[in-house]
Structure 1
Amino acid sequence: MSWSKVSKERYQRPLGENETFIKILGDTARPFNREHWTINIIVSVTPLGSLVTGNLSSLFRDAWKALRFSHPTIAAYIVDETKYVYDIPDLTALENWAAETFQVIEDKTVDEAIASATRVPYATMTFFPKTGELLSRWQHWRTDGIGSLILMDDFLDLAAQSAIDSSSLPWGEETVRLAQCVEEASSIFRTSGEKQDKQLAQQYVSSFGHAAGAIGIVSRAPAETSPSGACFSRLHLTEQETKAVVQGCKARKLSVTAAVHASVAGANYTLATADDQHKHYTSTIRYSLRPFLPEPYSGRPYASTIFTTGWMFPVSSESSWSDRANAYHTEYRKGLSQSYISAHREYAIGLCNLLRSLAKDTPSSTDVDISSFGVCERFVAREKGTVERGIRIDRISGGLDMINRQSVCHVWTFRDQLCLNLAYNEAFYGRAEADSFLQAVKNSLLHELR
């Protein structure tokens, strides 16, 4: 599945199975001219030194063009649902691509831009001068949460450097940096036989059966309601509250993600109907494959490819917060074995077959799932450049476009604050309901870890 040169100016490779799986999910929103699970990364920035009086719109546009040469896969696109294609640009093509994918918006907020966004073939970057915010949007088959943070960090690095001239760009040399799919990257672990790979893959595919009959939160929208814009509710704990959570987790020998996961489970029960309180809660145990792969796949050069995985994990309605937190902690601590990575291609094939077998009118889940970015400073520095010419990153926010009735609680820390985002669709839930969910998560955390 390596990239191959098919003409003087074009490279292509087949989509990997994991990319295909996420593409199928994304395409469920195609009838509404949207893409399910598009990744949004938002940063609020403050220019430093000479950049205070500089033309930031022009600066960021030039940095976006330069990022294409560092990570050319951000400009690749899919043809015939099976092929990943990259065209080597000349100056005119580069300017056309930048005009299509980089925007400066004065008359909308970030949230309004996300809610009104439609399908596009490429990754995009948008600058909001009034608020000093940058919004990057990445199709999930193109990258994952960690990869999108790294891409934003590299973009800000370029913006903080001295002015970028088009003549200095490595024209035509960027193709050596086209990213491979995870199946290619993980092939070194394929020591198991095909039969063993298929058996292990089926074991993990079967975990999705736990979604049947699981608890969900109340949506008052009629069954025939079509999805609308993707929305976010945000709640940031103070530094003092965050410190209390971290200390409480250390005392209980829990990871912060496991503790938040347990509180997300509890909030699902808080917002469910009384008739559903006996049901189990099923959610995703998510892993990044990056730490388990060798260089260069584990490093920044492969930011623009999807190296994420996960499986479904149930907890009983009768379990306590501590029971759930310990169960999640144990599951997260398992890591990924070489046999799991070896079987990942077969696992993705099984997930593709599962999605294709579902009836078109199969209702989506109504639960709130969880996804953790971890400590964002591992991927995005707090400052770029120097005090004479630099950028301070004040806040980071992120989350998926949800184009069905399921929601996702995203969690991360940045600048010593624990941050929660609830990604939901405005056709099915209101802001008050979303805010209530996050408040329930916070209250649970502070109560259980007091």
Structure 2
Amino acid sequence: MKRWIVMLGLILISGAGGAMEADIQQWHTESGTKVLFVERHELPIVDLRVVFDAGSARDGDHPGLARLTSELLLEGTEAQDAGEIARSFERYGARVSTNSGRDTGEFSLRGLSDPARLEPVIEELAAVMQGASFPADALERVRRQMLLGLQQAKSSAADQAERAFTRAIYGDHPYASPPSGTTASVEVLDRQAIVDFHTRHYTANNAVLTVVGDLTRARAEAIAEQLSQALPAGEALPPLPEVELPDGPQTVRVPFEAGQTHVMVGQPSVRRGDEAYYPLYMGNHMLGGSGLTSILAERMREDRGLSYSSSSRLSTGAQRGRFQMATQVRNEALGEALEVLRGSFAELRDEGPSEERMEASRRNITGSFPLQLDSNRDLLGYVSSIGFHDLPHDYLQQFMERIEAMDRQTVQAALQSQLDPEHMITVLVGPEAVINGVD
């Protein structure tokens, strides 16, 4: 039997100040699917996620293909239509959904752990995973919905800024492919392209299954085998190419008539699992990731009254994620807002954070983080990410420990080594005369 097991302690600090221990157990099914399992008996609930390397980065020359495929996975099999599939889960009190992003496509399931309720739900999920038929009528309906969304996005300055920013920072990399596609690509995607994508990407060797909840190890193994065997064996996909940094600073201007201008400034960041993630997370939290207590919120909103919404964000992926600062400002205040955004980042990067701000951020992060893990579903997302990105099983414990031990010099060094104004992209979406009047 091809199986290997890893059991490492994962310590989650509870909101009450105590400790809750959970073991991540890992093995591979006979069909080659990696499985991560956390046994929790507090509630009679099982949360399950099957993640495939099937995100928009795998779209190739067909933007929107991964999203369209994902949207159709629950729309029918040869034996059942979408309504029958939905009712087969609902009658046992279960919820099932699909989702896709840049890296992944996935099935998620929540059900009661009582075998009389869970077993038929797992059987139904296996049937759907094995027999998705992509009916022609559903394809056309979902296509129309995606095209409508693309049309609506044209009237949204925020959507236009997001698309322009992603194209600019990722260039020719597959991450630049918009998950929702383009009008031209979505209009011509046909059923055969969807079937081919599904056959290539939704396979046992290209999947990670995570189970959290009220099960024994033996039951979790049986479920994993049942779901894995429903999939073709397939092969794991080759890694995505590395993300190259932009050659130099660039300003992208997108004309859009509105009373405000949308601004995004940033660059590719680090990949998931990079050691620099921890100090960058802390730096981003102080800069604009902590809401109204962040540097950008204080300077843009409280000190200058330039914007009610200013923030920064750090994300990671299988390859480099993204760092971005974003705001929406009155057109007449655009020049001043850009000066504050860029200046605040440069000051934090060049001078480092104060000890007072470091300590405030440390308390905020360590105090709020456990609340993000207080349910099976929340924990499922983190453990699923650990499995997909091959992170150490004590990743969450490491995160808390590293934030606790972080010093200002480490944060400053990460900002200086990983985020460089010479690679920053600025996107401006607003009236042409306004956006052309600033650098």
Relative to the length of structure 1, the TM-score reads: 0.28
Structure number with greater CO (CA < 8 Å, separation at least 6) is 1
**Rg larger for:** 2
- Give the helix-richer structure, 1 or 2: 2
